[in-house]
């Protein structure tokens, strides 16, 4: 009963007019903040304001890319915004597969001379064709167009740990290859400062997706502490992702934890901590709020 009441309060608190994708029209937020209309996500983040740097972090396979794609599609549909999604890890083609079933929003690859949508859309760009600095320049270009006001820069695929120096491990004399096909890009202090400065000057919201060490790897956690502290000093909001099923033996896995992602949102006001739970629906590649 408590969970249902809390969810109803969240939905009513975020009840801004939803823009239907069939007739994309810019919907101004009364507070200037952007909400996705996914109550659990909006509650954990607290909305995304102009010029803010918001970080989503968690170990690999916790659903960061899928959640950021959901955020991009929902924000674009609701406000008529144009989203630039820059991947510092996976190729745009791979990212597009994850976003293919998100109906109602145009998804394009950003290519010089390519087609440009006159309405809201999500543009995909990756590190194989350009670097992060060029992605920032493109975001500024999109922001300057009246038809794409309310643009957001989402940059994903970063890590607080350097990629392994080799792609093969020996376990009991047997060659083992890491499951990740594309290594994350190490996030530097300079890059964090650059994104913070860019957001402050342009008033363009920046959302950052960062992979952190597994909770099982104490040495890696210790090595990434310094860089994570730097992100926390610069970010206006920090949302950590946790998947309970990844830390359970298969035989002990509980059905209620299937595809569940727990979010914990914090801000410089350390006492303002917000927690929620989402469940991923593989059928439509989207999330729904549990609590």
Q: Phi/psi of residue 242, each to 5°?
A: -145, 130
Could you state, in order of their start, the residue ranges of all structural domains in the chain?
A: 51-161+181-254
Q: To 10 degrees, what angle do helices 132-143 and 189-202 make?
A: 10
Q: How many whole angstroms separate alpha carbon 129 and alpha carbon 25?
A: 31
Residue 248 tokens, joined? 């359970």
**Could you count the other beta carbons within 10 Å of the beta carbon of residue 16?**
17
Q: What is the pTM of this model?
A: 0.82
Handedness of CA 62, 67, 69, 72 (dihedral sign): negative
Residue 148 pLDDT > 50, yes or no?
Answer: no
The whole-number pLDDT of residue 174 equals 63
CATH of domain 51-161+181-254: 3.40.50.300
pLDDT digits (tens, 9 = 90+) for 44-59: 999 999 999 999 999 8
pLDDT digits (tens, 9 = 90+) for 33-47: 999 999 999 999 999
CA distance to 41, 157, 211, 230, per residue, from 81 (Å): 18, 22, 26, 30
pLDDT digits (tens, 9 = 90+) for 168-208: 555 566 655 555 567 788 899 999 999 999 999 999 999 99
Three-class DSSP category at 257: helix
Cβ contact 136:92 at 8 Å:
no
Weakest mean pLDDT among 70-79, 105-114, 208-217: 105-114
Question: For residue 247, what is the enclosing H or E element?
Answer: none
């Amino acid at each position: 009963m408590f969970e249902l009441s809390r969810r109803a309060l969240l939905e009513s608190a975020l009840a801004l007019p939803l823009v239907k994708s069939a007739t994309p029209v810019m919907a101004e937020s009364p507070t200037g903040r952007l909400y996705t209309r996914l109550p659990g996500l909006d509650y954990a983040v607290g909305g995304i304001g102009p010029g803010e740097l918001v970080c989503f972090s968690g170990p690999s396979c916790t659903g960061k890319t899928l959640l950021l794609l959901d955020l991009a599609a929902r924000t674009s549909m609701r406000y008529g915004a144009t989203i630039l999604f820059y991947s510092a890890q996976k190729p745009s083609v791979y990212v597009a597969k994850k976003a293919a079933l998100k109906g109602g929003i145009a998804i394009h690859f950003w290519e010089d001379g390519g087609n440009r949508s006159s309405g809201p859309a999500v543009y995909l760009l990756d590190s194989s064709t350009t670097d992060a600095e060029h992605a920032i320049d493109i975001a500024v270009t999109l922001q300057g167009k009246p038809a794409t006001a309310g643009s957001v820069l989402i940059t994903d695929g970063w890590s607080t740990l350097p990629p392994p120096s080799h792609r093969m491990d020996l376990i009991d004399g047997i060659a083992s290859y890491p499951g990740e096909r594309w290594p994350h890009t190490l996030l530097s202090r300079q890059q964090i400062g650059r994104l913070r400065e860019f957001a402050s000057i342009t008033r363009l919201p920046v959302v950052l997706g960062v992979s952190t060490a597994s909770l099982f790897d104490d040495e890696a956690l210790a090595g990434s502490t310094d860089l994570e502290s730097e992100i926390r000093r610069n970010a206006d909001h920090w949302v950590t992702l946790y998947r309970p099923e990844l830390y359970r033996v298969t035989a002990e896995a509980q059905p209620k934890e299937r595809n569940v992602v727990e979010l914990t949102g914090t801000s410089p006001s350390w006492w303002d901590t917000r927690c929620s739970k989402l469940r991923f629906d593989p059928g439509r590649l989207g999330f729904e709020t549990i609590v």
